[in-house]
Structure 1
Amino acid sequence: MKFHPLSRVWIYQSDRVFTDAEVKELEQLLADFTAGWQAHQQQLKAGFEIKYNRFIVLIVDEREAGASGCSIDKSVHLMKEIQEKYQVNLFDRFNIAYKEQEEVKTVNRDAFEALIAAGKINQNTIVFNNLVQNYQEYQDKWEGKFINSWHQRVFSLPQSI
């Protein structure tokens, strides 16, 4: 499904990688959910993506019908069910994702700061901005260099000598 650049996105990051078998189950679960996702008895033009077997992305093109509070609550409820079923944490905003070579890793805030101090995270490290608001931002700014992300405003890199 093709989405308008201003379609809303919600990104849920797992604290562990889903297995391939879990991803197959999740794809079916999310396909069923988005096919029936409604707001005020109107079908939402919705879809999903699972990236790196770790990120669940929900997408809604609100040009036809907007996601309401109740419909968003339904998606949060689904994420809580997934969290419980698969024993993952999808709501920890202090769980930070970054790439080491091509592998996506997650650590808590303290561990991320320790990696920065040890020089293992630098301005070119790829990090993930799960706060993007729309599909265009998701395409352009979700995955990018530390130096171009919100991370550089929150975490200080050591000064080079």
Structure 2
Amino acid sequence: MIIDFKKIPKQGKVWVFPSSRKFYSQEIAVLKERIEDFLTDWDDQENSINSSYLLKYDRFIIIAVDDITHSLSLQAHDLLIAFIQELEKIFEIVLMDKINVCYKQGEFVQYKDIKDFKKMIKTKGVSQKTIVFNNIISTKSELNQNWEINIMDSWLGHFLK
């Protein structure tokens, strides 16, 4: 069941799926419809899951659940992963790769292979002020406080020292 994102508790589970490219404007409505259909029907062994989602920067799919009173089973996780893999095929994108780097370049969000990003660091294509996305966060609280962070506060910061 879909609920307002604001009603997901701070310690509610969050998954961030960074897209390998920006979603085209004509894809957004279809993407939202597919996500809403999935979340509406998503259950955990016949228990309704209170869930919500955000699309950020036309590049990130953020799924959140209220799992405080009822922990999600492996089966529910598997259903989510299967759904995300389906989206990857439909939109011809990568969503499951959290090692590659998403970062802000001005007002735009870029996505780079980690090897290419390391090359950019060496050639001063990014600085100590670059904002990167920590896509391995796992709670709503972390989304609000530790998702968009300075590169020096991330695991990538040691490459700039």
Q: Distance in 2 between matches of 1:22 and 1:66?
A: 32
Deviations 1:9-30 (A, max 9, x none): 1111111111112111111111
* Corresponding residue number in structure 2 for 1:128: 133
CA distance in 1, matches of 2:68, 2:114: 37
Q: Any idea what SS the aligned residue of 1:127 has? A: strand
Q: Deviations over 1:129-159 (max 9, x none)?
A: 0010100001111011101122224xx11x5
Q: Please give the secondary structure, in 2, of the residue aligned with 1:22.
A: helix
Amino acid at match of 1:10: W
1:16 to 14, 21, 24: 21
Whether contact under 8 Å (1:129, 1:150) holds in the other structure is no
> Equivalent pairs: percent with the same residue?
28
Distance 1:121 1:90 in 2: 23
Structure 1 segments of 4 or more deviating over 4 A?
none
- The alignment yields a C-alpha RMSD, in angstroms, of 1.2
Deviations 1:78-98 (A, max 9, x none): 011100011001122332111
Query: Among residues 78, 83, 104, which one is paired with 2:83 in the alignment?
Result: 78
C-alpha separation in 2, matches of 1:76 and 1:51: 19
Residue 139 (str. 1) matches residue 144 (str. 2): yes
| Contact preservation (8 Å) 1:99, 1:125 | yes
Aligned counterpart in structure 1 of residue 33 of structure 2, from 28, 49, 73 = 28
CA drift of 1:109 comes to: 1.0
Letter of the aligned partner of 1:127 in structure 2? V
> Closer, same or farther in 2 for the Cα pair 1:65/1:35, shift >3 Å?
farther
**Pairs aligned (count):** 156
**Structure 2 spans left out of the alignment, 5+ residues:** none
Match of 1:101 in 2: 106
What is the alpha-carbon distance in structure 1 between the residues aligned to residue 29 and residue 145 of structure 2?
Answer: 27
| Cα separation, 2, equivalents of 1:26 and 1:129 | 23
AA aligned opposite 1:18: F
Q: Which moved more, 1:85-94 or 1:68-77?
A: 85-94
Comparing 61-70 and 103-112, the one that deviates more: 61-70
Stretch of structure 1 that moved more, 100-109 or 31-40? 31-40
CA contact (8 A) 1:39 1:65 kept: no
User: d(CA) in 2 for partners of 1:149 and 1:25?
Assistant: 33
CA drift at 1:118: 1.2
1:68 aligns with 2:46: no
**Which runs of 5 or more structure 1 residues have no equivalent in the other structure?**
none
Post-superposition offset of 1:51: 0.8
- Is 2:109 the counterpart of 1:119? no
